[in-house]
Amino acid sequence: MKIAVVGVTGMVGRIMLKVLEERNFPVSELIPVASEKSIGKEIEYKGKKYKVVSMTDAIAAKPQIALFSAGGDTSLQWAEKFAEVGCYVVDNSSAWRMNPDKKLIVPEINASELTSKDYVIANPNCSTIQMVVALAQLHKTYKINRIVVSTYQSITGTGKAAVEQFENERAGIEGKMVYPYLIDKNCLPQCDVFTENAYTKEEMKLVNETKKIFSDNSIRVTATAVRVPVVGGHSESVNVEFERDFEIEEVKTILKNTEGVVLQDDIANKIYPMPRYSENKNEVFVGRVRRDYSNDKTLNMWIVADNLRKGAATNAVQIAEYITKFM
């Protein structure tokens, strides 16, 4: 089938191509799409070169599925135009996530909500995806009341320019500053812009998207999102309070059997998830699973995933795989 990748020259767009190839997605024709300045450039997919085309040319080609990773403004302008020609759009931006008419999908959790009439589908925020994948089966078993999450987010979540800033700092080169401060040897307690309630947009995504994905507005969520000088992978310290009590070994068994989760929890041998080892992997890694003795029915855990993979490209391709059932 014809597949368009919009934002193909960006960090996530390039990973989308890798994931499509790795998962043997049935691509009969690839339509690479990017901004005006990239039109005509060549990209490679499965050993074949393709020229980047414009949005209008891509729509004229009538792809069956379009994977979008080109920013919210682009998605708002173009996603529904693709949908009008019968193309299913999986959008990686924040443009449609909280739109009540659009589904917010993590396939392991709620792909069954999708119907053949859902032509624009939202991919959740990277930090939300890895957290809800780890918590979904625990929520079904024990019912989550409250989540307190602190994130340690890779600079790749900001994009190529952030990686360039980091590399310039390491090399002692003056260059463009994406962040308001140096990122090397530093932690910035600001991911995205601040909102009126003193939380950042990134923190509010964790709050609002979690409730929508779980279809449960009763879950209380509070978040602190921090940018750290790591090139690949987001980490999260998660404290979760349940309605029902649990046994730690049962929790670990549930996590071992959760689709998309790898349990790495062997403190005797210093085995726990780390972003360095999650890079280029599609799974969500969970460890440091332990009871919170300061509060009843409460659990602490450490969650790590490659934010460009499961946090973006892999999740989008998994949604696309589900969409093929309608075709």
Specify the pLDDT at position 275.
98
Q: Is 195 exposed, middle or buried (0-12, 13-18, 19+ CB in 10 A)?
A: exposed
- For 228-267, how does the pLDDT look when each residue is reduced to its tens digit (9 = 90+)? 999 989 999 999 999 999 999 999 999 999 999 999 999 9
From 87, 139, 191, 234, active-site residue: 234
Query: Do 153 and 249 share a structural domain?
Result: yes
Q: Helix 126-142 and helix 248-256: axis angle, to 10°?
A: 120
Specify the pLDDT at position 14.
96
From 87, 126, 139, 191, active-site residue: 126
Specify the pLDDT at position 327.
85
Q: What is the pTM of this model?
A: 0.97
Per the annotation, the verdict on 139 as an active-site residue is no
Query: Do 317 and 303 share a structural domain?
Result: no
Query: Do 146 and 112 share a structural domain?
Result: no
Q: Total domain count for the chain? A: 2
* Strand partners of residue 261: 284
Domain range enclosing 120: 2-124+312-326
Q: Which residues of 157-194 are buried (b: 16+ CB within 10 A; e: fewer)?
A: bbeeebbebbeebeeeeeeeebbeeebeeeebeebbee
Query: Do 224 and 78 share a structural domain?
Result: no
Here the tokens at position 278 are 């999650």
Query: Do 144 and 106 share a structural domain?
Result: no
Query: Do 144 and 228 share a structural domain?
Result: yes
Query: Do 232 and 205 share a structural domain?
Result: yes
Query: Do 164 and 115 share a structural domain?
Result: no
Query: Do 87 and 73 share a structural domain?
Result: yes
Per the annotation, the verdict on 234 as an active-site residue is yes
Query: Do 289 and 188 share a structural domain?
Result: yes
- The CATH number that applies at residue 142 is 3.30.360.10
Identity at 160, one-letter amino acid code:
K
- The CATH number that applies at residue 73 is 3.40.50.720
Query: Do 132 and 64 share a structural domain?
Result: no
Query: Do 142 and 273 share a structural domain?
Result: yes
* Strand partners of residue 224: 150
- For 146-179, how does the pLDDT look when each residue is reduced to its tens digit (9 = 90+)? 999 999 999 999 999 999 999 999 999 999 999 9
Give pLDDT < 50 ranges for the chain. Answer: none
Distance between CA atoms of residues 115 and 121, nearest Å: 10
